Amino acid sequence: TGRKLTQREFVLGLIEEALEAAERQADSPEPDAPPQEEAGVGPCEAHPEGSGAQWAANYKSYAVSQGWITSDVVLTDTITRTAIAQIGAKALGLSASSATPFPDTNDPYVAAMNTAGIILGNPDGNFNGSGNLKRSEICAIICRMLNYRDNAYNDQIPGWL
């Protein structure tokens, strides 16, 4: 089954891809970069979230500033399927949906990610929101998010295929 992913790893992946995508699109304005230093947290100082969290502090600040997560999120916690859907939907700017595609959840961000074709659920038709995902599943979700974002962006520019 493998090691469980943390919130820090998912948020880091989203931010890194967002910044790289902005660099690739020279005509597009680059999003605000993560701050270089979080106040009171230097490279050798202890971080309140525990060992290993200091390297992610700037990314957490960026994600909070973008409205993807709240400041009380502990990045070293294991990330759930519902949290991935919530963060992903906010990062893409998807509107919360009142649809209920899965019988085991009515989370509006899960529904929005399903409507966008990014979150597909389990073969049994459930979502299992408190469950965890493998790295390969996270990669598939991020890939679908990138395809969704790129297709939505291309549709807004006349003359693009």
In the DSSP assignment, the letter for residue 87 is: H
Positive or negative, the CA dihedral 128, 129, 131, 133 is positive
Record the pTM: 0.68
- Judged by average pLDDT, the poorest of 1-10, 26-35, 110-119, 150-159 is 26-35
Kindly give the residue spans of alpha helices, DSSP state H, lying in the chain. Answer: 7-24, 57-65, 81-92, 108-115, 135-155
pLDDT of residue 40: 42
Provide the pLDDT confidence category of residue 118 given band limits of 50, 70 and 90.
very high
pLDDT of residue 72: 86
Other C-beta atoms closer than 10 Å to the C-beta of 152 total: 13
Provide the pLDDT confidence category of residue 115 given band limits of 50, 70 and 90.
very high
